[in-house]
Amino acid sequence: MTVVAVLGGPGAPGATSSALALLLSWPLRPGRRVLLVECDPDGGAVLAGALEGRVEAVYGLRNLAVADRRGLLAETLWEQLLDVSPQGTGERLLLPGLTDPAQAPGLAYTWEPLVEALHALEPQGYDVLLDLGRSGANGPMAVLPRRADVVAATVRTTLRGLSAARPRIAALREDLDAHGTGSDGLGLLLVAEGPYPESEVSRQFRLPVLGALTHAPRTARVLSDGGDTTDRRFIRSELMRTARTTADRIQGLAAARRRRLGGPQPQPQPQQQPVQPPPVQQQPVQSVQPALPPQQVQAPQPVPPFVAGPVAGPAYPQQPQQPQQPAYQQQPYQQQQFQQQFPPQGAGQFTGEWPIRVEAPQISYAAPHIAPPAVPQPPAPAPFPGQAGPDGADGEEVWRAR
């Protein structure tokens, strides 16, 4: 199995489009398959780009973080794959990336188990492509290029692209030499947009050129924004022809590097002679009872290499169902309401006497009305002279009478 990490950089050099071109043009022998994993921490672009939103964002890398905490990473990996083969044969698979960059910190402890799970696909004949994006070689994700067989740094052959890629490639070379298996697997994947030739770029960076993809914006738009990948003009385009040449070079470099490192070779297991168990003397049975048939132990079924379809929801524990009471034992609603209102005495047994319902006295909390005491009123003053009194007499007459 070959694990290839495709690394981008500033200025959008086209790492995702290059990885998709390699996925569709990867040479496959009978029984071989290729898998592309979107590991870009800034978020995946294939679902909304090349697939044009035809697949819901329920599949992807974000589901593996929860599965890893539950110890189900290897099983859940197959449930998240999508078949992007033009003929639908399941030979070219895709693991969609993150839908939100905020999900990347949750995968900090999942990258290393994910690499182990991808390397475990070697007996099944899988080649793996890793799309690292522009920042996928730093931090916890640095284990991905360190464990890869080949690291392809995507660079545009323009002055801006070459100057931006120089310090990043230098830091990556030092990291692979110090913590990886060496920088001899590091190479350049050029996008021939500028005037600088391959030989000059290889000499300046002191790295081999793994391939030079043709700068064809119209054809590359099918990989970035969607289109018909089964079109004969797309398959025979200059971009896809250079991508097939690049794939051949990458496989040759990976094979040479594995021979140099001396990878583990599968060894045939020695055949073991069956051990005959000693004869067992049968004891007489005292009591004859029907013996239960022994449970047949089933061998674990292999996980299918590709599962396409809707994602099965989580299995929630079912609540135990209460046994349904027969119709003749069901109490009518009025009787249940009466028993709730008047519970019987003596642990649910009828004593022969109906309970007497005592009405509670009505208590009024309103203050009683208290009549005010009678206060004597002063006599009415005498009217002024010239004014009539209450009885019609003149005020002056009353004043003179006093």
- Choose among 311, 315, 316, 314: nearest CA to 78: 311
Per-residue pLDDT of 354-370, as tens digits, reads 544 545 555 444 544 55
Residue whose token pair is 């099983």:
75
Considering the segment(s) 3-261 as one domain, its CATH architecture is 3-Layer(aba) Sandwich (3.40)
Q: How far is CA 380 from CA 248, 375, 383, 386, 389, in A?
A: 128, 15, 9, 17, 10
- Choose among 102, 129, 11, 79: nearest CA to 311: 79
Per-residue pLDDT of 344-402, as tens digits, reads 554 445 445 554 454 555 544 454 455 555 555 556 655 555 555 555 555 555 455 55
The predicted pLDDT at position 373 comes to 53
Per-residue pLDDT of 245-294, as tens digits, reads 999 999 999 999 988 887 544 343 344 444 344 443 333 333 333 333 44
Residues 214-224, mean pLDDT to the nearest whole number = 95
The predicted pLDDT at position 1 comes to 78
Per-residue pLDDT of 97-129, as tens digits, reads 999 999 999 999 999 999 999 999 988 999 999
Look over the chain and give the mean of its residue pLDDT values, rounded to a whole number.
77
Q: What are phi and psi of 130, to 5 degrees?
A: -115, 120
The predicted pLDDT at position 353 comes to 52
* Alpha carbon distance 175, 169 (integer Å): 10
Contact assessment for residue 24 and residue 240, using Cβ atoms and an 8 Å cutoff: yes
Domain limits, the chain: 3-261
Per-residue pLDDT of 164-184, as tens digits, reads 999 999 999 999 999 998 999
